[in-house]
Amino acid sequence: MAVMNVATYGYTMVAARLLGPGSYSAFAAVMGLLLVLSVLQLGLQTTGARRVASHPEAVAEVERRLLRVSLAVSAGLAAACLALAPAINALLNLDSLATALLVGLTAFPMTLMGAQAGVLQGERRWLALAALYATAGVSRLVVGTGLLLWRPEEQVAVAAVLVTFFAPVAIGWWALRRSAPGRVEVTTDDDHSARSILREIGRNSHALLAFLALSNADVIVARDVLDAHDAGLYAGGLILVKAVLFLPQFVVIVAFPSMSDTDVRRRALTQSLWLVLVLGGLAVVAAWVLSGLALVFVGGPQYAEIQDQLWLFAILGTVLSLLQLVVYSVVARQARRSVYALWAGLLALVVLSRSADGVTTLLLSVLAVDAGVLALLLLTSLQRLGPASRSASGAGDPPAGGGPGTGSVGGVVPGSPGADGDVERHGELGR
């Protein structure tokens, strides 16, 4: 993931330099739209990872049905974007229908990649998943840079993103081309129908869209409540926020399958929170002690006015990374009502930020709202998860499969709503 993020950032910097401000603005607008569309990709990934981790006895069944649904979903999203290409062209002021059409074409492999990554993540096949992620970033940097050196145009820059999305899809296909050794085809009583999978994709995408909206709304609010200079300073500080947010993203990827397992999900959440908190704390200290170096990272001397506030931006990034982890825990236990706390936080952010008269006051307002949402969701999650599982003594959460070798069914009736709207689908794990 580090290789992917660095390579993707590198391609963005190459595009910015080779395209120039005018063309790069169009490219950035397209990438922003693809970021929104990627919510469906993440919905597929979390659905696949959760179902595979929750039903290890039915990996082949889940994989087959999920990939079949993902083909339909990917094709449907691509077709919708292609049909809306004229509207996309007008909305983003691209002045190029061909570039708008590329958005629709890119949506297909981008979304399909999410389903493949979800199966690999749920099976904990980290080497194959790492290869998929690294290939996504490196191919974009290498192929994209070559194409832009040949023809520095925004249409070519977007076409490079389209072409290079097929590289990780090829890696995913290769990794999933045949059943893993020892995998047995099992049909369960749990609902893995296309309709059930689509409903879960919708729920997961909704939760991740809410987090995406909350974590990115402040840059839009800044342009509304601050003057152009201060809004630019705030946007520069957000570069550090995003760096701190994405730094521990690997923790989310590795922890999510365990957070989907009723035996260990509370422990997985708490241990992951501590790890993210430690990494974020180190980032805050670094931003405080090495503020000069951090300033170079966010834009250089022209952003010197926020040098003394960079540690606050690092705290905001840490809070968002913790919130992201808790949101994935909410997705793992299929909580429905908890998601509305994110939308309430977005509304509170918009209202409270109206009184901001500078970078610091806006930053503190956003930090207060995000911390409040984090505290609410964290307390709710820990309450719903109950006491830590102690399988040896039979205390704690009931095992999803009744313990090793028992094959019994525990917990809530499959598919029925539990507390906070949680949906537990406990199958016979027989582990």
Q: Residues of the chain with pLDDT > 70: what percent?
A: 85
Give me the pLDDT at residue 407, please: 33
Residue 411 to residue 418: CA distance in whole angstroms: 9
Give me the pLDDT at residue 299, please: 66
Top-confidence residue, 71 or 429: 71
Structure tokens, 171: 């890696």
Residue type, 66: L
Residue 311 to residue 91: CA distance in whole angstroms: 36
For residue range 76-86, list pLDDT tens digits in order: 999 999 999 99
Give me the pLDDT at residue 308, please: 87
- Give the residue-averaged pLDDT of 150-174: 93
What's the mean pLDDT when you consider all of the chain?
Answer: 80
Q: Report residue 395: phi and psi, to 5°.
A: -90, 170
Query: Which range in 180-194, 284-298, 411-425 is most confidently predicted, on average pLDDT?
Result: 284-298
Give me the pLDDT at residue 389, please: 44
Give me the pLDDT at residue 257, please: 82
C-alpha 180: how far from chain center? 26
Give me the pLDDT at residue 352, please: 87
Residues forming beta bridges with residue 423, ordered by sequence position: 417
Instruction: Say what the pTM is.
Output: 0.74
Top-confidence residue, 135 or 178: 135
For residue range 174-228, list pLDDT tens digits in order: 998 865 444 445 444 456 677 778 888 888 888 888 888 888 888 778 777 877 7
